[in-house]
Amino acid sequence: MTKAVAKTVAALLAAVAAVVLGLEGADLLAVPAAVVLACVVVSATLAAVATIGAAWRDWRERRSGRRRELAEITLTATLWAVVDQVVPPLDYRDLGIAVYRTDHAWWWPWRPELRRVHRVRASRRPVSSDVAWRPGKGVIGACVTQGEVVAVDLAQMSADLGQPTAAEWRQVPEDLRMGLEHEEYLDVRDKYAVVVASPIIDDSGPRSRVVGCLALDGPEGRLDALSSDEVLGLLNFTGQALLQQVG
């Protein structure tokens, strides 16, 4: 919204300056020298800003593309490494992995949210939800809030809870609700099975802080295999490798 307003104002200023200079050049309008000078300065400044802005956008897009490529390679390699560690074997296509970072919306800076940076998921598992994830909401939100691994078999939990009404959902223990509203629970209950979230911790400063998390998801009944020490070690290593993208 702010960028749109700024661009609109800049376009209007450029148009006014162009009209004034055009009329003055055609001797159709008597314009004081100070106004002509101001119009020239405005036109030159806006042209410079537009050129510099385009150069910065091009640089950011190239950097973003390189980061996405790095994340794609890193997450894909991690999934294959998980497949190698799991016994009995799992099909690569049954797994998915995503990296999230903590962020703040500019219009609500005091309320943190979790923004997905990148995800690798097989085309036969194209699940997604409409939940706005944030610290304290869902498995990944609990992971970020607690600063530790959170692993849950959501399919088993959903089978145990069934399809509660809104009133029944409010009576479910808080640790099982994981910050989800009733509608959000219904949205995700059939979309995910086992989810293992590992925090990404930045300890480069005087105090360690959780800056995001990795979320590995797989099929029902494989909680123990996907939360083994070997798999958790892979997730921790991957999180540190991607730290620059989420920190």
pLDDT of residue 87: 87
Q: What pLDDT, on a 0 to 100 scale, did the predictor assign at position 193? A: 92
Phi, psi of 30 (to 5 degrees): -85, 115
SS3 208: coil
Task: Give the pLDDT score at 174.
Answer: 92
Q: Averaged over 12-38, what is the pLDDT?
A: 56
Per-residue pLDDT band for 1 (boundaries 50, 70, 90) equals very low
> What average pLDDT does the segment 190-197 reach?
92
- List residues bridging with 199 in a β-sheet: 213
Phi then psi dihedrals of residue 218, to 5 deg: -150, -170
Q: With bands split at pLDDT 50, 70 and 90, how would you rate the model's confidence at 190? A: confident
CB 225 within 8 A of CB 108: no
What separation in angstroms does the CA of 237 have from each of 74, 198, 201, 206?
10, 10, 11, 21
CA distance to 115, 181, 235, per residue, from 202 (Å): 17, 30, 15
CA-based nearest residue to 99, from 223, 238, 209: 238
> Which of the pair, 39 or 170, is modelled with greater confidence?
170
Per-residue pLDDT at 208 exceeds 50: yes
What pTM, to 2 d.p., does this model score? 0.72
> What per-residue confidence (pLDDT) applies to 95?
93
pLDDT tens track for 108-135? 667 789 999 999 987 655 567 788 899 9
| pLDDT score recorded for residue 243 | 83
Q: What is the CA radius of gyration of the chain?
A: 26
pLDDT given at position 203: 86
Cα–Cα distance measured from residue 163 to residue 49, given in angstroms and rounded to the nearest whole number: 56
Q: Is pLDDT of 19 > 70?
A: no
